[in-house]
Amino acid sequence: MTVRLAVFDCDGTLSDGQAAVCKAMLTAFAEAGLPTPDLHHVRRSVGLSLPQAIARLAPDASAEIQANAVEAYKTAFRGARLDGSLHEPLFDGIPALLARLRVAGWLLGVATGKSDRGLRSCLQTHGVFDLFLTLQTADRHPSKPHPAMLEAAMAEAMAAPADTIMIGDTVYDIDMARSAGCRAIGVSWGYHAPEELIAAGAEIVVQTPEELGDLLDV
């Protein structure tokens, strides 16, 4: 039986963490003594590893200041998680989609710029952690669009590139899929525009999780 693997991005694809990311980034930049970042650019950096995102947002800052901002971001995000103010809801239709895919025999994975702890917390909070076979994060791999996360997910699932689909909302996801030799499907409800995803190589951009389920024939 052919193994079919669907690998999802997290922020902007499975979950809506926009408010949490922007709040933590504003705090991090203030504590590191950096100018307030443009929130449009903050949102567009979602999907990269945290160090890469901050380097992109503050390219003229020294490596030391960038590192300080990274630690300040982690502290702010961790504090929000501990005090209960962190809000990262799953997008409407995502839980039902994941359940449909598992019933249909798909193996599920995540490839994300989040940390191991952040990803686990998000998935456990929403009761979907156990649906996923493979979880790949920026803690253990180079940032997207490097293909390492997808390659590790395929190895863990014993899935071939031809039988693996990367599903994401940014060009970083699409570029990663192309580098790994996988199919790429974009989603319209995240951080990059559909036309950008198509230009990057997505075979299609779906408008809803239900449409994605229909496309995958489940």
Residues with active-site annotation: 9, 11
Q: How far apart (Å, rounded) are the C-alpha atoms in residues 58 and 89?
A: 28
Instruction: Kindly list the strands in the beta sheet with 5-8, ordered across the sheet, starting from the edge strand earlier in the chain.
Output: 134-137, 107-112, 5-8, 164-168, 183-187, 204-206
Is residue 11 classed as helix, strand or coil in its secondary structure?
Answer: strand
Token duo for residue 25: 């980034």
Q: In angstroms, what is the C-alpha Rg of the chain?
A: 17
Both tokens of residue 40?
Answer: 């449009």
Tell me, letter by letter, the H, E, C secondary structure of 12-66: CCCECCHHHHHHHHHHHHHHCCCCCCCHHHHHHHECECHHHHHHHHCCCCCHHHH
